[in-house]
Structures are given as C-alpha cells and as structure tokens.
Amino acid sequence: MNRLSLNIDNVKPFVSADALQGLQAEVTRLHNLLESGQGLGNDYLGWLHLPSKIEAAEIQAVEAAAQSIRSQCDALISIGIGGSYLGARAAITFCNPLLRGAGGNGPDIYYAGHNLSGDYLADLLDVIRNKRVCLNVISKSGTTTEPAVAFRILKEALEQQVGVEEARRRIVATTDEKQGALKQLADAEGYQTFVIPDDIGGRYSVLTPVGLLPIAVAGIDIRKLLQGGQEAEHAATQSARLDENPAYLYAAVRHLLYKQDKTTEVMACFHPALQYVAEWWKQLTGESEGKEQRGLFPASVEYTTDLHSMGQWMQEGQRTIFETFLLVAQSNRDVSIPQFADDLDGLNYLAGKGLDYVNDKAYRGTAAAHLEGGVPNLSLTLQDRTPETLGQMFYFFERAVALSGYLLGVNPFDQPGVEFYKKNMFQLLNKPGTEKR
C-alpha cells in the first residue's frame, strides 16, 4: 500500500523527461550496487532490509521495556544527539497531539544530551524535580560528549532522588553490543541494555531500538511503524525504474537540479507536526552527502509562519535553491471557521471552511508563486499522521539519500568531517590524551 505520493510537476520546466530517462541506467547500476552490497560504505547497510529482518524477540523486548517505563514513570528523558535523538523526536512529534505532553497518553517525553547548555539542563532538572523519572541513554559510540555529560548529571540527580538501586531499575542504555564507555558503565551498573547493530549508522537507526524504545514509551505502535517501513522497503527493492520507484525519482530529480547549480534544498512543511521530521531529514542528507566539497545544503522552513519571514528570500533571493514540500493530506483533527453576523473582520467568505482547507490553498499558492519566481519545487504528500505512513516516509528518505550519495560519488554512510570540531573542543577542554596545536 502506498501511503506517500510524489508530485514533480513543478520541476518539469527544469528537469525534462529525457534528462530523467538519461539517468535511468546509472540509477539501475547504483541500485544493484546497493542491493549487492558492493558499493561505498557497504559495511553500513544494516538499515537496507532492517524493517523486514528485525526479529520478533527484539520488538517484544522493546515493547516490554516501554510498558515497564510507562507503568513506573511519568516522565522519560531520552538522552542522545544526532541520529541517536532526532528519529525518536521526529516520530513522537509527528504522531502525538502537539500541545499535550509529548508522550500522548503516556509519560511526558523530554530530551537531553543534544546540546551543552547549562540553562537547558538546569530548567529540565527543575521540571522533573517532582516527577517519577526514567532515563534512556542512547549512544552508539558510547563516548559522545554531549549525551555523556547530560547522563552523568541526570544519573546523579536520579540517584539522589530515589537511591542508587531504584535508579538502576529506571535507566535503560541503548548502545554498542560490546564497546564504548557507556557499554562498560551499563554492565557495571546492571542497566537493561538494547543494542545498536554494528552495521547501522546513527542517522539510519530510527527503526532500531534507538528510535523504537522512546517511540513505544510515547504510546506509538512500533509494529505499525515497522510495517510502514517494510512496505517502503519492498517497494524500493522491487524496481529501480524511476517511474516505479518514487524514492529513486526523488533522488534523481534532486541530483539533476544540483547539477544545474540548485545547491540548496529547502524542505518546506505546512504542519508543525513535521518540525522534527525536517530536522531528522537534515541530518540524514547533510551527514550523508556533504563531503569531498560536494552535496546539497539541506535547509528547512515551517510555513505559513516562515512565509512572513523567509518567504521574501524564497520568492526573490538567489536562484540557487529548490523546494521540497512535505505535506500531510489528512490531519488528525480540523477546526472550522465560524460565521459572524457583523463580519467586521471580513472573514465570512471562509465561514464553515476548515483550517486545513485554507492551509492547502496556502500551499498551492506558494508552490505556484515560487515556481514563477524561478524555484523548482516538488511535493511529497503523506497520507496521514499514522505510524504506518511515518514508517514508509523514514524508509523512503533513507533509500533516496543512499542513492543520492552514490549518484554524487560519495560514501553516504560515513561522517569523517564531524570529528574536526571534537578534536579542537577536547584540546580546549584539556581532555587527557589530547595536546594543544
């Protein structure tokens, strides 16, 4: 079942059917390279068939741990950064009510370890002071500074609140099977642990326990999420043809636009539930493609609010951009506009219409205006805000970005550039073993 639809009508003035057809042979070659495990970064392909291969026992273990957290606690703090953070936050924001506790009908979900702000952590410590708290610390390497520091502080706070023994029961670690400081710490303390497979990098890990545990704690059905992932996996595996494989069509279109010096891709959403989906997508594309001085710069805007700020730039700024609209066809709920007898605000022409109707017109008006202003744009419409649709979307982008990296000739599964700031930071912090340059 296809829960996503890709519309490329507004790129046609820039990308011809012939140009797409001209890329087909290369796409097919790269598809075969990906599937046969012969391409760049082939030791990180565990995500490729993960949705269909994840073991029933693993799903059950995640569900049981989530249930135990839901029954013990009224707040979960998910501690991680980058790929060990954004997938869960994207899913939880996407599926759950926007203004109630982020955990929907379960514990409130808070995040830590994704920044180094003292204010942020101090505020978080205040907020959780009188709550029953559980911690899920997530780090593949087990050595990333931001989550390690946050975990140290939150672990101490929890131990002071409930004692060392009870704290141990309330902490779950998601990390490497064998290595890293977090693994050693978890073993020493006797925490429950989940494993991040060796062959799956952080930004491709949302459908492993990295994402699944916090998502399940938030009351989202992870089986449905995985089902969506599986549907997209099957669809993308079956055919490399651009007229049959929308993930590859998206990759091919953005590659052809990049070749025309459209070097920035702006993901534009009209729904606040997509805010962290865009953040997840930025990590996926940025870390996968931005290397060897190549790669699209991934940016995002949230409409309609940003139409009143960035809208000017989008309409008339440098023509080095294209836009990918990420849309939701069916919201969970809608609110209709009332009729007023006096009509002093002049809005009676919208009376009886839902906000989604108005939002849709805003999208259509924007897409046409930006095309007229020289910005090619494509639209990916998600059928609804269900976990199945989200699972399809996660896999759609993973597959598309893997192919995009191969089209660029880079390894989409490493991130050597990220280490540079860390070296400098450690030297500035006088970390033992690092020397000043």
Ligand X SMILES: O=P(O)(O)OC[C@H]1O[C@](O)(CO)[C@@H](O)[C@@H]1O
Across 270-361, the runs of DSSP E, i.e. the strands, are 297-302, 321-330
Binding ligand X (rule: CB under 6 A), the pick from 39, 202, 209, 376 is 202
Residue type, 313: W
What is the 8-class DSSP label of residue 271? Answer: S
- Of 131, 224, 353, 422, the active-site residue reads 422
Angstrom distance (rounded) from CA 167 to CA 134 = 8
Q: Which of 116, 125, 418, 428 binds ligand X (CB under 6 A)?
A: 418
Least separation in angstroms between CB 285 and ligand X: 13
CA distances from 321 to 178, 217, 282, 359 (A): 44, 39, 15, 23
What minimum distance in Å lies between the beta carbon of 304 and ligand X? 31
Place of tokens 């087909």: 24
Find the shortest distance in angstroms from Cβ 181 to ligand X: 11
Which residue from 114, 170, 203, 399 is in contact with ligand X, where contact means CB under 6 A?
A: 203
Q: Which residue is nearest to ligand X (CB)?
A: 202
Q: Which stretch binds ligand X (CB under 6 A): 137-145, 156-164, 339-347, 425-433?
A: 137-145
Q: Is the Cβ of residue 368 or residue 418 nearer to ligand X in the bound state?
A: 418
Q: Determine the Cα–Cα distance for residues 117 and 111; give it in Å rounded to an integer.
A: 13
* Residue 287 annotated among the catalytic residues of the structure: yes
Provide, rounded to whole angstroms, the least separation between the CB of residue 175 and ligand X. 8
**Taking the complex as a whole, how short is the minimal distance between the CB of residue 25 and ligand X, in angstroms?**
32
Nearer to ligand X, 183 or 262 (CB): 183
Cβ contact 222:91 at 8 Å: no
Touching ligand X, residues 138-167 (CB under 6 A): 139-141, 144, 147
Stretch that binds ligand X, among 87-95, 118-126, 135-143, 345-353 (CB under 6 A): 135-143
Residue 271 CA: distances (Å) to CA of 250, 279, 332, 359, 362: 21, 14, 11, 9, 12
Question: Is 423 an active-site residue?
Answer: no
CB 192 to ligand X: min, Å: 18
Instruction: Identify residues 228-287 at the interface with ligand X (CB under 6 A).
Output: 287
Spatial distance between the Cα atoms of 390 and 271, rounded to a whole number of angstroms: 14
User: Measuring CA to CA, how many Å separate 231 from each of 50, 59, 195, 225, 390?
Assistant: 12, 17, 24, 10, 11
Name the residue nearer to ligand X (CB basis): 411 or 415: 415
Q: How many CB atoms lie within 10 A of CB 393?
A: 25
Q: Which residue type, as a one-letter code, is found at position 269?
A: C
Q: Which of 279, 287, 388, 398 is catalytic?
A: 287
For the segment 57-96, give every residue that binds ligand X (CB under 6 A): 81-84
Q: Quote the CA–CA distance of 134 and 69 in Å, as a whole number.
A: 7
Q: Which is nearer to ligand X, 144 or 300 (CB)?
A: 144
Binding residues for ligand X, rule CB under 6 A, total 14
The type of residue at 86 is L
- Mapping DSSP onto H, E and C, the string for 141-182 reads CCCCHHHHHHHHHHHHHHHHHHCHHHHHHCEEEEECCCCCHH
Q: Least CB distance from residue 173 to ligand X, whole Å?
A: 12
The smaller minimum CB distance to ligand X, of residues 41 and 311, is found at 41
Closer of 46 and 246 to ligand X (Cβ):
46
**Least CB distance to ligand X at residue 333 (A):** 33
Of 178 and 333, which CB lies nearer to ligand X in the complex structure?
Answer: 178
Q: Determine how many CB atoms are found less than 10 A away from the CB of residue 423.
A: 12
Between residues 149 and 337, which has the closer beta carbon with respect to ligand X?
A: 149
Residues 24-43 that bind ligand X (CB under 6 A): none
Q: Enumerate the β-bridge partners of residue 108.
A: 75
Residue from 27, 3, 5, 25 nearest 253 by CA: 27
- Residues catalogued as catalytic: 287, 422
Residues in contact with ligand X by the rule CB under 6 A: 81-84, 139-141, 144, 147, 202-203, 287, 415, 418
